[in-house]
Structure 1
């Protein structure tokens, strides 16, 4: 018969965490690929909209500087061109700049889901080209002017406008190309006015500078896309973290519900099981002791003894499960009082002495009789001692020795140490031994069968007292269990209880 593992149960309940993560990644990749296929620039729709949004913000922010730049250029052109022509040129530039700014504001005010990104991108490209044409018309002023300084001024203006245009339209590369084309054409047209070597050199340098600005614009676009992708990945991670937190909260809620159901089940079943179990124990003890007369067959008495022993074993198992459930649920209440740790250990050793003598085992005691009292729960402390002594007797071979130590810790607390000469536990099996119903492979082969709840109960009770639990074991060298209690539970270390003192009232005599 094949064993049903936790992994198989998890698969039956649904996909594992790794499988769910892989499915989410595949779905995200498919959605991203679908958006890239429907996009005109090869990016997801969210990236496409974000690039246009950044462009619109750049354009709105550059409105006032461009107006100032156009007015300054028109004012400077008065020195070498008619004022009417400069004013007309400035009015045209301001009209186009204002129209582009209005389109950018309208774009930002619309619902992103209802926008047609292709149409918006076409409007941006056309707007950039028209605006660059308006700036490039500055060359027409040089038709009636022969001054070399005027050509140099216009060339300088065209280079500045090219730099501004490529930087503002960097997030829409086609708009940057469309905006730079009229400016490069206007700069090249200056060669028609003069073919001197100096003019050719200046025009060549101006065109190279404009192309360099276009190169910088492409790099700025790549950096913006990389930043958007990084932000999208970060948002996706945050989304996955939120989903994981929601899943964790849901799993914790289900675990709490399951724990509550388990507690209710154990509370109900403990009553339902103990009622018939008490009858089994009582009647089997009557039959075992032959209270109403001897049995007709000697085997009946042996069967009655087996029934009684099995009932006791089942009762102990039920009690251990209930104790562990209360400890794990945090419902184990401590009834603390002042106790002598050495006396509790000695009492436990006396109770387990019969089992040890049956296996010809000996106790070696190193107990400090001067230890002060300990503030602890007597029932829990006795259960701790009995559990670790029971394990030591169980796993120690016949004729072995069990060493019991009780004394001070280095921090001023008290400790109990029980060391046996049994088979020991491999290091990799210690976590299994400390888990509920866990037993080591070597111990199963060489010792009596148990429920595997003794050590978990001991550790839980020790934790309730704020103490420490340590298990040291090596194969064929035995096992040592050390239980420590903090110094705050030693009676000599506890501060005295302060009582309110009332000073005697002296009678006041009347004068």
Structure 2
């Protein structure tokens, strides 16, 4: 009883954890779908991750801006002979240093902060500051270069800067737009002031490029958001699988321990029960046969017979439970030899003949001639036939009939068929009858109901021999059970016959 309660408790624990785990998974999946379906750039959880990734990427690429600034300032100062570019470079490097300090602080605070929108605005403000520096560069002019060369120099530098900004800030929404806004304003002021076609063309071209790069970075941001969503969903599912696997392993370990405990319990109890049972059976048999002298009261003889029969029933029950336990544990070994299935069937019919006669049941035998021996365990096959015959006699009404047949299968094997004209089994109850400890409604109402282990043991023994077990039954029409042994068990192999050549019994049972 203690084992039963423990196992049941374990089952409830696992089931409850599984329910909570499924709820957590469903919530995670719903949150992921919301992230994927959001149109404003993602949920706060993803916004925080993207901002953190942007800060780390910006720190890793911090040397790009100083490198570009120094190169462009040196080239511009050399070609234009304007020292203002050197001053601009120093101002830009100072602004970049301040921006890096801000990004480094954000990289530390964003993962633990609940106000990621505040940090996003600060990072965008840093881009605006850098944009103002490049706006100052756009406002510079090269008197020596001439208008065409000055236009080409500014256009090339600003487009390169815009491209670098777009590539380095795909994880920060609207970064390109904020960084390019001061430059656009500077170019527009210059075009409005000079009214020159070159300045107007440069401003228009740059505005178009800004729109294009803003669109591209927006698409890349959305793609990264989806990839991050898929990654998080995959991580959630992997974690779920790991939890499920760990719980499954734990449940399996507990089941194996419970099974081993059951086997140990049955092994020890079998010895403890059989020892007093042998004494009970022996002394009750001595008393029933009055070996040591007549009993003064005839009721004592009747009681001793009842004790003997009850002890035999209990011993048979113990033996069936132990057989099933050995089969489930894989420790049921076959002692195979050459036996005759017909001889085994005849012996078993003789054993139940007296019981059948007491109920007025007629047992008819139909054996095919010249049946060769089969390679099988005689004790196990005898147990199979006895179980099936005992069930047939048990559930056949008085004056009924049981037919026992042994013959060839279509595939060259041998079969044993036992058919009765008892009450039969409902179709929906057949799986119950074939399960361990399962009994149909007729067996439950019967005064001779058994343990429900006979048919499962028969199935297991036939499976160990590589055979099959079939049960056919209809209510009020009787039941037919068929034990089939494969052709490889037949000592004198015969060629398989086709269905057209098979005789009528073969068609009836195995077509």
Give the TM-score category using the shorter length: 0.7 to 0.9
Matched, 1:421 2:421: yes
Instruction: Name the count of aligned residue pairs.
Output: 481
Deviations 1:106-162 (A, max 9, x none): 999x89978999697577445433443343333123375772674466356545533
Are positions 1:469 and 2:437 aligned together? no
Equivalence for 2:326: 326
Residues 188 and 246 of structure 1, relative CA distance in 2, 3 Å threshold? same
Does the Cα contact within 8 Å between 1:404 and 1:418 map onto a contact in 2? yes
Structure 1 position 13, deviation (Å): 5.4
Cα distance in 1 between the residues matched to 2:428 and 2:478? 15
Larger displacement relative to structure 2 (371-380 or 451-460): 371-380
* Aligned 8 A contact 1:125 1:175 in 2: yes
Cα distance in 1 between the residues matched to 2:126 and 2:114: 17
1:62 Cα offset (Å): 9.3
| Deviations 1:293-340, CA, capped at 9 Å, x for gaps | 444443333322222211111111011111111111111122122222
- 2:386 is matched with 386
- Cα deviation for residue 383 of structure 1 reads 0.8
C-alpha change, 1:55 and 1:106, in structure 2 (3 Å) is closer
**Which secondary structure state, in structure 2, belongs to the residue aligned with residue 16 of structure 1?**
helix
Q: CA deviation at 1:460?
A: 1.7
Any conservation in 1 of the 2:413–2:484 contact (CA below 8 Å)?
yes
- After TM superposition, the structure 1 stretch with the greater mean CA deviation from structure 2, 110-119 or 207-216, is 110-119
Instruction: Check the 8 A contact 1:287/1:301 in 2, yes or no.
Output: yes
TM-score between the two structures when normalised by the length of structure 1: 0.78
Q: For CA contacts below 8 A with separation 6 or more, give which structure has more relative contact order.
A: 2
Query: What is the 5 A alignment of 1:9-24?
Result: 15-16=15-16, 18-22=18-22, 24=24
Aligned to 1:136: 135
Q: CA deviation at 1:384?
A: 1.2
- SS for the counterpart of 1:459 is helix
Please show how residues 439-478 of structure 1 align to structure 2 within 5 Å.
439-445=439-445, 448-478=448-478
Structure 1 equivalent of residue 37 of structure 2: none
**Against the structure 1 CA distance between its residues 178 and 440, is the aligned structure 2 distance closer, same or farther, given a 3 Å change threshold?**
same
Per-residue CA deviations over 1:187-207 (Å, capped at 9, x if unaligned) read 433423443688657635642
Cα-to-partner distance string for 1:397-448 (whole Å, 9 max, x where unaligned): 3333333333334444333232333333333322221221111124433573
Contact 2:51–2:110 (8 Å) recurs in 1: no
> 1:254: which partner in 2?
254
Q: Measured at CA, do residues 201 and 134 of structure 1 come closer, stay the same or move farther in structure 2, by a change above 3 Å?
A: closer
Residue in structure 1 matched with residue 350 of structure 2 by the alignment: 350
Could you tell me which residue of structure 1 aligns to residue 185 of structure 2?
Answer: 185
- Bigger mean CA deviation after superposition, 87-96 or 213-222: 87-96
What secondary structure, in the 3-state scheme, does the structure 2 residue paired with 1:142 have? coil
**Aligned residue number for residue 147 of structure 1:** 147
Structure-2-length-normalised TM-score = 0.78
Moved more, 240-249 or 115-124: 115-124
Q: Deviations over 1:450-476 (max 9, x none)?
A: 100001111222222232233333333
Preserved contact between residue 41 and residue 48 of structure 1 (Cα < 8 Å)? no
Report if the CA contact (8 A) 1:60-1:101 is conserved.
Answer: no
Gaps of 5+ in 1: 33-39, 495-511
Summarize the Cα distance change of 1:99–1:318 in structure 2 as closer, same or farther, 3 Å threshold.
Answer: same
| Secondary structure of the structure 2 residue equivalent to 1:337 | strand
State the match for 1:43 in structure 2.
44
CA distance in 1, matches of 2:102, 2:155: 29
The 3 A distance-change label for structure 1 pair 58 and 339 is farther
Q: What do residues 57-92 of structure 1 show as CA deviations (whole Å, max 9, x unaligned)?
A: 47746966995798479758977x447566776787
Which piece of structure 1 moves more, 322-331 or 248-257?
Answer: 248-257
Distance 1:190 1:365 in 2: 116
Q: 1:76 to 1:198 in 2, by over 3 A?
A: closer
* Structure 2 stretches lacking a partner, 5+ long: 33-40, 495-511
Show the 5 A alignment for 1:264-283.
264-283=264-283
1:329-370 deviation line (CA, Å, top 9, x unaligned): 111122122222222222222222222333333334343343
Structure 1 CA distance for aligned equivalents of residues 477 and 235 of structure 2: 56
Distance 1:107 1:55, change over 3 A: closer
| Alpha-carbon distance in structure 2 between the residues aligned to 1:347 and 1:76 | 114
Give the Cα separation in 2 of the matches to 1:91 and 1:482.
Answer: 99
Partner of 2:242: 242
Query: Contact 1:389–1:418 at 8 Å: present in 2 too?
Result: yes
Q: How does 1:69-468 map to 2 (within 5 A)?
A: 71=71, 75=75, 81-82=80-81, 124-142=123-141, 144=143, 147=147, 150-151=150-151, 154-155=154-155, 157-159=157-159, 161-173=161-173, 175-195=175-195, 200=200, 203-204=203-204, 206-445=206-445, 448-468=448-468
**Partners of 2:139 and 2:186 within 8 A in 1:** no
* Other structure's SS at 2:483 match: strand
Instruction: Tell me by how many angstroms 1:374 deviates.
Output: 2.0
Q: Distance in 1 between matches of 2:109 and 2:488?
A: 66
Question: CA 1:103/1:355 → structure 2, altered by over 3 Å: closer, same or farther?
Answer: farther
RMSD over aligned CA atoms reads 4.3
Q: Distance in 1 between matches of 2:64 and 2:197?
A: 38
Residue 501 of structure 1 aligns with which residue? none
CA distance in 2, matches of 1:403, 1:157: 103
